[in-house]
Structure 1
Amino acid sequence: MQGWFWGRYFRPFARRPAETEASEPGPDAEPVSLIVCTHNELENLRELVPLLLSQDYPAGFELVLIDDRSQDDTYLYAQQLSQYYPGRFRLVTVSHTPAGFAPKKYALTLGIKAARYERLLFTDADCRPVSLDWLRLMQRGFAQKNGADIVLGFSGYAEAPGLLNQLIRYETLLTGAQYLSFAWAGRPYMGVGRNLAYTRATFNSTKGFASHIRRLSGDDDLLVQDAVAAGARAAVVADYEAQTLSQPAETWGAWWRQKRRHLSAGSRYRAADRRRIGLFMGSNALFYVLTPAVLAVGWNRENLVSLGIIWLARTLLALLVYVPLARRLRTTLPPLALPALDFLYFALYCAWGLSLLRRRPLQWK
């Protein structure tokens, strides 16, 4: 089963042709609204905003900053930006969230309503576009499929020392491999709000976040779910210059809470998407579950040799798939550490799933 996913989805995506470079002529005629929702992230904004306002995009764009109940000096900083960039910068202030509404979804809704343009491009305050052509290249995704409604981008995490950072980047690679390659094969099911674009008409077709406005997570993947169900077409733009880069969680607890929040939206996916993801994740987890079961039958030489051959074959196959994927997405993957990272990730994935059964409260920020 794992080999089928690797051959059917991952490897073809890793070998897909490079996208048109920003220096080449392209469909860059439509203005774009860049939308960033922030909550107490002034220092991140000081780094991010200059990079956004410096994007090379002749058709014009605006930056819509949504200040969601910040208690730092975000508002004062935004007021300065309004003076320096009249007509290019717009501030939306959220002073409170209605009872029972997910704060970020409510804030994003207000920001989208305030945006001038039809095409909307989203990122987070802790993200950084890797190039000044990010906006241009993401916008070109709308020209795919004879007029796409959603553009799915990739957002990696910065490299740092330590096992936690390696696991975060491996998980991000594996998640990106799934949602990008599935979409490339015509089966889109999610995107990441750190690098995602869609049209206002697409947002309106789903009545915004109405179907999940009270659920904390899902401002990106559940929006894509609803939009695809309504007939929206999704394109993939994943070359390096069109990516964003984020700072990863620095503690195991922070990462645990982040992943638990992200995975909580999965129960709302369409049945076909849940089956597809479940088969991939389940077959990987089952491999590790069956290993001790085989050993329990007997520690004889024949069992050990057979198990060793299976492990070696699976590891080699994973290397043949994930190394090209990492190269395609321009993220580093230590080949020698792959077996350990894979085992730890799927063990944690099972733990995250079990933890969601306890229905502990989730929080944004």
Structure 2
Amino acid sequence: MLLATVVVQLAYMAYYFWPFAAKRSPDAEPAPTHEQQHPVSVIVAARNALEHLRHLMPILLTQEYAEFEIILVDDRSDDDTGLYAQQLTQYYPNVRLVTVGSTPEGLAPKKYALTLGIKVARYPYLLFTDADCVPTTNQWLRHMARGFGSGADIVLGYGPYDEAPGLLNKLVRYETLLTGLQYLSFAERGNPYMGVGRNLAYTKATFLATKGFASHIRSLSGDDDLLVQDAVALGKRAAVVTHPAAQSVSEAPASWSQWWRQKRRHMSAGSKYRATDKARIGTFMLANGLFYLTTLGALFFSPVDWVPLAIAWFVRTSAILATYAGASRRLNDRQSVALLPVLDATYFLAYFLLTASLVLYRKPSRWK
């Protein structure tokens, strides 16, 4: 069993992860001529996000791009989010405000808010980020829009978390790197299955083709990954953009309970994935989990043959260190290589507990 789990993980490393990790993002700046062909509507849904918008809007407003607009969707805020957005519309002609007074019963609030923002978008290319995110540079829009230049319908970006002290932050950032490595490398191999709403773009035609969020409008999660699922099922093509200037950074969850709720919400969307994607992702996650479980079984419930056990651990650990370190360089999301084995074991233990909690207790979580 231990040998089988190592073989499966090495197969994923060799076919998906290492080709992605070893590749370098292009250093060349996007050609401005492409900008005329891809005018972009940047859409941000915000609820009680005044302080976040004060950090986000200055960098959005200074994006170097030929033609774009910013649509702020004030989703039922009871602070000064709407007032701040209204003031921006008076000074910046490319800023527009959509106000959501209430959400129809049974509909997911964020998806409803995004739908209203998309409905009024002037341009055929849509770029999304969250109110609590900040693009790393004023070239973010330019690099993300460059993904449309290849004829793609969807552009998948990467959204890391800010570095901070503490084990939780290291674990969250490791989990984000591993998730990014999965969905970006799978997409580069022709198997896109998800994106992250804090750095995702697609055409308005793609949104209309999937009938928006209709297939999952009552599900609280999935405004990003389930939209990608529906689009790919219709034959839409996805491009990957990993340049450091094309990233949008967020603050990591500040407490274990906050991270737990966030992960439960995100993982709940996985049950609606296509069967092939479930099998592809599930096989990798199961192989990692069983690797640790079979190791524990060998240590505590049977005589230990240390030589093959040590060889299996050395080969597997060396492979993940090399691959994950390479991915962190490509994505400019530097991780502590020495801590990777510890974080990997901790994450898959947490993943097992999260999966069990979703099976046993399905209380929904609402977005803030």
> TM-score of the superposition, structure 1-length normalised?
0.96
Question: Which residue of structure 1 lines up, in the alignment, with residue 25 of structure 2?
Answer: 18
Residue 25 of structure 1 deviates from its aligned partner by 5.2
Residue 183 of structure 1 deviates from its aligned partner by 0.3
Residues 1:129 and 1:216: Cα distance change in structure 2 (over 3 Å): same
| Alpha-carbon contact 1:295-1:304 (below 8 Å) kept | no
Question: Which residue of structure 1 lines up, in the alignment, with residue 220 of structure 2?
Answer: 216
| Alpha-carbon contact 1:18-1:239 (below 8 Å) kept | yes
Instruction: Find the aligned partners of 2:260 and 2:269 in 1 and give their Cα distance.
Output: 15
| Alpha-carbon contact 1:152-1:196 (below 8 Å) kept | yes
Residue 361 of structure 1 deviates from its aligned partner by 2.4
Question: Which residue of structure 2 lines up, in the alignment, with residue 325 of structure 1?
Answer: 327
The 3-state SS of whatever aligns with 1:28 is helix
Question: Which residue of structure 2 lines up, in the alignment, with residue 248 of structure 1?
Answer: 252
Residues 1:114 and 1:173: Cα distance change in structure 2 (over 3 Å): same
Question: Which residue of structure 1 lines up, in the alignment, with residue 3 of structure 2?
Answer: none
Task: Report Cα offsets for 1:1-21 as digits up to 9, x if no partner.
Answer: 000111101111112242253
Query: 5 Å matches for 1:334-345?
Result: 334-345=336-347
What percent identity do the matched residue pairs reach? Answer: 59
Instruction: Find the aligned partners of 1:344 and 1:109 in 2 and give their Cα distance.
Output: 38
Question: Which residue of structure 2 lines up, in the alignment, with residue 175 of structure 1?
Answer: 179
Instruction: Find the aligned partners of 1:284 and 1:181 in 2 and give their Cα distance.
Output: 18
Instruction: Find the aligned partners of 2:40 and 2:30 in 1 and give their Cα distance.
Output: 19
Residue 28 of structure 1 deviates from its aligned partner by 1.5
1:133 aligns with 2:125: no
1:364 aligns with 2:363: no
Instruction: Find the aligned partners of 2:205 and 2:272 in 1 and give their Cα distance.
Output: 22
1:38 aligns with 2:40: no
Task: Report Cα offsets for 1:47-84 as digits up to 9, x if no partner.
Answer: 101110100002x1100000000010011111110110
Residue 297 of structure 1 deviates from its aligned partner by 4.3
| Alpha-carbon contact 2:157-2:241 (below 8 Å) kept | yes
| Alpha-carbon contact 2:161-2:250 (below 8 Å) kept | yes
Query: 5 Å matches for 1:1-365?
Result: 1-19=8-26, 21-22=28-29, 24=31, 27-29=34-36, 30-58=38-66, 60-86=67-93, 88-144=94-150, 147-300=151-304, 303-357=305-359, 358-365=361-368
Residue 293 of structure 1 deviates from its aligned partner by 1.4
| Alpha-carbon contact 1:26-1:140 (below 8 Å) kept | no
The 3-state SS of whatever aligns with 1:27 is helix
Residue 299 of structure 1 deviates from its aligned partner by 4.4
Residue 319 of structure 1 deviates from its aligned partner by 0.8
Aligned length: 359
Task: Report Cα offsets for 1:110-140 as digits up to 9, x if no partner.
Answer: 0000111100000001111101110001001
Bigger relative contact order, structure 1 or 2, given CA contacts below 8 A and separation 6+? 2
Give the residue type in structure 2 aligned to 1:4.
Answer: A
Instruction: Find the aligned partners of 2:33 and 2:235 in 1 and give their Cα distance.
Output: 26
Instruction: Find the aligned partners of 1:66 and 1:325 in 2 and give their Cα distance.
Output: 34
Task: Report Cα offsets for 1:255-308 as digits up to 9, x if no partner.
Answer: 0000110000000000000000001000000000101211234345xx233322
Task: Report Cα offsets for 1:310-340 as digits up to 9, x if no partner.
Answer: 2222111111111011011001111111111
The 3-state SS of whatever aligns with 1:120 is strand
| Alpha-carbon contact 1:51-1:129 (below 8 Å) kept | yes
Instruction: Find the aligned partners of 2:159 and 2:342 in 1 and give their Cα distance.
Output: 23
The 3-state SS of whatever aligns with 1:124 is coil
Unaligned runs of 5+ in 2: 1-7
Instruction: Find the aligned partners of 1:140 and 1:150 in 2 and give their Cα distance.
Output: 11
> TM-score of the superposition, structure 2-length normalised?
0.95
Residues 1:26 and 1:284: Cα distance change in structure 2 (over 3 Å): farther
Residues 1:26 and 1:304: Cα distance change in structure 2 (over 3 Å): farther
The 3-state SS of whatever aligns with 2:73 is strand
Q: Which is further off, 289-298 or 215-224?
A: 289-298
Instruction: Find the aligned partners of 1:195 and 1:172 in 2 and give their Cα distance.
Output: 13
The 3-state SS of whatever aligns with 2:289 is helix
Give the residue type in structure 2 aligned to 1:31.
Answer: P
Unaligned runs of 5+ in 1: none
Instruction: Find the aligned partners of 2:220 and 2:169 in 1 and give their Cα distance.
Output: 25
Instruction: Find the aligned partners of 2:48 and 2:28 in 1 and give their Cα distance.
Output: 36
The 3-state SS of whatever aligns with 1:157 is coil
